[in-house]
Structure 1
Amino acid sequence: MVRTTRRAGIVCTAAAAVAVLAGCGVKGTAVAGEIDVRTLDVGSYAVDAHTYHQTADDEGALVEGMRMSRAVVPAVAIDPSLKVGQSGHVVLDNTEATTRLLAAVSKPILDREGLLTGYTASGADKSDDPGTSISTSDTTSVTDFVMRFADADTAKRTAQELEDADFGVAPDINKKLSLSKYPDALVHWRPGVSNVGAFLAHENFVISLFIQRPQPEQDDLEAWVQKALDAQIPALDKFRATPKDQFSGLPVDPDGLLARAVVRDRDKHTPDRDRFASYGPNDFVNIAADETVRQRLVADTGLDAVGIADTSTVMRVRDAAAGGRLITGLVSASGSAYSPIDAPDKLLGAKCLQLSSSGVHSNSAKFRCYIPHGRYVEVVISNDQSDMKKKASAAYALLANSM
């Protein structure tokens, strides 16, 4: 195996300053038992009901990759021990794919065969060495990278080409393996090295696996490849891929969550993996420090969609009661890095946090608030407490006006 790392990390940064909308009135009429949102101090944030009508256009591959987050299983679904989430993100660029996920010799293959889009998820049973992205030698980790191609024939041909290229880097050392349950899986390892790689074409997709184990035992590595395929293939079977010629027509806000996210400027958004994106619940699990707890929270609340716009995140759950449980779970998961502070007056059920002294070296924002309304929970962040309060109030008003 010649892959240089088991995952491709991705860092989400705070938004650059953008123009502030002026003259945005607070609209809406109160109903019994609900706040009159016209009384909330929302600053200059727009809170009237909104819709993003645009389609993906030239960013169709990215939007389809976001949809694929529903089809790539979190590591904890492969094995309960893999509870440390290490990443989950769309992969569009062949260079990115072959820098950290595939062997470098694979790039000409992807260029030739036409990788349409992809999504990868990684997890492990132990955290990396402190301050590094390097796993300890006794770690088990799995990187599951699913690539989409034009048709089944292309996928099958590409899987074989990728395997041949990877194996061919050291044909005198590498050894081919086989799985009786998945005879079409292309698997090889380097005896004495405790990792294994595999490719399997499945319909229009190619599943690429890279698995690290504490000991270089062939039977064990084969069992882990089978375990990963057992989890991944059924998820792909449930996914309805968008035909390539329909990519450009995909809606950028399929669940209406982005329109419920508080932003400074509604007019300057195009699909972006980190700043204007719609994902399924798996993406929410992939980044968790404890995937087991996060997956349980998803199941308990019925969370089925996540929208990210600038520094706001909107999540849709089963009902209002589930929204409260989601907030409780997320606040609890913040641990000692954050301390509770008062939420803005009138926002029933909202909870706010401030970065504590134990988190002073964190890249996270200084303040964050969780705001519930009906089936929705919005999370807003800011480094300014006054702005955070206005943004939290705006989030509630926007959620209420969007009902």
Structure 2
Amino acid sequence: MRTTKLIPLAAALTAGLLLAGCSADGEPTGASGGDAPTTANVDKAALDTGDYPTTPAPPYGYADPTSAGSIEGQRLSEFTTLPYEIDADLTEVKMPTGPLKDGGAVSMLISGNVSQVALDNGMMTGFSTVASTPGRDNSRSVLHAVLRFGDNAAATAAAEGIYQGLLTEDSGMGLPVPENIDVLPNTKVTVHDIPDLKKVDVNALTVHGDYIIYTWASAPTDQKDWTAKSVAKALQLQEPLLDKFPATPKDKTKELKIDQNDLLIYAVPNKEGDARQTSQMAVYGPRGMAHRSTNPQLTYEVLTGAGVEHAASYNTSVYRAASADDAITVLDAFVDDLTAAGFAAAPAPAGLPDAKCLAKDTTSGEENYCYVVNGRYMGEAGGLDKKDVDQQIAAQYLILEQADQDAE
């Protein structure tokens, strides 16, 4: 899926929305297809795995009160609209894309004191996704989020509190005004024209059962119609997805498995002491992985076509395809995508000649990605340190040697 590390982006503080100053995890896509990877030439004695484990992790067990919201948010990602589905040009993924572990996380989405509103009304979990049109000139952006509460009454109260906060808390650029969108009679909408920036921002809040569907859209002033159409499209797509979400009952969070599909045990974990993001130590579906991808549409379509129902994300990512041929198809698609983005073939790790590695110089340093296939499984490692990425993919290869090829 090409998962890039977090890359700083310009922060955008608007009337009621703070886009954090960093991009979302993306993933590499890339390299020429070529012959199918094999493991016949592996020299295990030459593999350098550093301090990374080389065997599957023990079972991760069940969520505790501090992790349940993040895990449920990871699950919710598979039932959240992708920005490119709202507008095909929304392909540059940004933060805050990822699970929202509780009401306090709403402060990443909306400025002011509205996160306290979410906390006071018992927000349980959520998921947010953000993307813009590439480039800075004439850019359009959408932040789309789903926030879960204990019941409809709590969601309704929270939506009203957030709405009033948007209308009354000045973030430094003046206050928005309420507005009605004819096709969204049950949606609370604010509009903020910002002449100094030559842009307009729209916030939309819709209560749907126990959830708030929140969409922020921003565009140049002369494209105000686009913002209204975008929030309407987001809601149209989101409601049927949300109706399919198999939410964990409030009293069953202790029964929520961390490793939903016995796949996370095969991903290489972070090094001891390294910070873990809420989007990590997770199991996603194709849609969940696409939210964080450098090429969301390709990721979703390739994974779906290859029968990748589940993928694990930790320090590395692991994809379980329908067959060995399907795993190779995913690898080739990702490598071709990265190649098209300017990545070039890089040396494979010592002892693992059939790994596919790519590199590209960027403003953040040299970005590196490596891939390896074992049966139905494909492992992916990425980062700015070539030696570390090589160690990750070497460890990943040894772990995947022990993976259950008959898992469902």
TM-score (normalised: structure 2): 0.77
What are the residue-to-residue correspondences of 1:259-278 with 2, within 5 Å? 259-263=265-269, 272-278=277-283
Q: Secondary structure at the match of 2:206?
A: strand
Alpha-carbon separation, structure 2, partners of 1:254 and 1:173: 42
Residue 340 of structure 2 is aligned to residue 327 of structure 1: no
* Separation (CA, whole Å) in 1 of partners of 2:273 and 2:63: 14
Alignment of 1:21-40 (within 5 A): 39=44
SS at match of 2:18: coil
Alpha-carbon distance, 1:94 to partner: 4.1
For 1:69, the equivalent position in structure 2 comes to 77
Aligned partners of 1:389, 1:191: CA distance in 2, in Å?
A: 49
Which residue, out of 287, 293, 315, partners 2:319?
315
Unaligned stretches of 5+ residues in structure 1: 13-32, 130-135
Aligned length: 368
Structure 1 pair 324–187 and aligned structure 2 pair: CA distance change class (3 A): same
Which residue is 1:120 aligned to? 128
- SS of the counterpart of 1:178? coil
Shift of 1:119: 1.0
User: What's 2:238 paired with?
Assistant: 232
Does residue 401 of structure 1 match 2:408? no
Q: Per the alignment, do residues 383 and 279 of structure 1 end up closer, same or farther by CA in structure 2, a change over 3 Å counting?
A: same
1:350-375 superposed Cα distances (whole Å, 9 cap, x missing partner)? 3123x34x33x42565x432011222
Aligned residue among 350, 357, 364 for 2:355: 350
Whose RCO is larger (CA < 8 A, sep 6+)? 2
Alignment check: 8 A CA contact 1:84 1:125 kept: yes
CA contact (8 A) 1:57 1:249 kept: no
Percentage of pairs with the same residue: 22
Aligned to 1:133: none
84-93 or 376-385, which deviates more = 376-385
The 8 Å contact of residues 98 and 279 in structure 2, kept in 1 or not, is answered as no
Q: Do the aligned residues in 2 keep the contact of 1:89 with 1:283 (CA within 8 Å)? A: no
Aligned to 1:57: 64
Q: Under a length normalisation based on structure 1, what TM-score does the superposition of the two structures give?
A: 0.78
CA distance in 2, matches of 1:269, 1:362: 19
Other-structure match for 2:6:
none
Q: Measured at CA, do residues 39 and 73 of structure 1 come closer, stay the same or move farther in structure 2, by a change above 3 Å?
A: same
CA distance in 2 between counterparts of 1:68 and 1:253 reads: 15
- Using the alignment, how far apart are the partners of 2:39 and 2:354 within structure 1? 12
**Cα–Cα, structure 1 residues 295 and 53, in superposed 2: closer, same or farther, change >3 Å?**
closer
8 Å Cα contact 1:324/1:372 also seen in 2: yes
Which structure has the greater CA radius of gyration? 1
Change in CA separation of 1:322 and 1:347 when aligned onto 2, cut-off 3 Å? farther
Note closer, same or farther for the CA distance 1:263–1:2 as it changes in structure 2 (3 Å cut): closer
Cα deviation code 1:146-165 (max 9, x no counterpart): 11111122112211222122
Which residue of structure 1 aligns with residue 35 of structure 2? none
User: Equivalent residue of 2:15, what SS?
Assistant: coil
- Alignment check: 8 A CA contact 1:10 1:89 kept: no
Q: How far 1:112 moved relative to its partner?
A: 1.3
Q: What residue number does 1:297 align with?
A: 302
Does residue 100 of structure 2 align to residue 91 of structure 1?
Answer: yes
Aligned to 1:27: none
Helix, strand or coil for the counterpart of 1:278? strand
CA separation of 1:279 and 1:35: change in aligned 2, threshold 3 A: same
Distance in 1 separating the partners of 2:222 and 2:306? 40
How far apart in 1 are the matches of 2:20 and 2:273? 31
The answer to which of 298-307 and 236-245 deviates more is 298-307
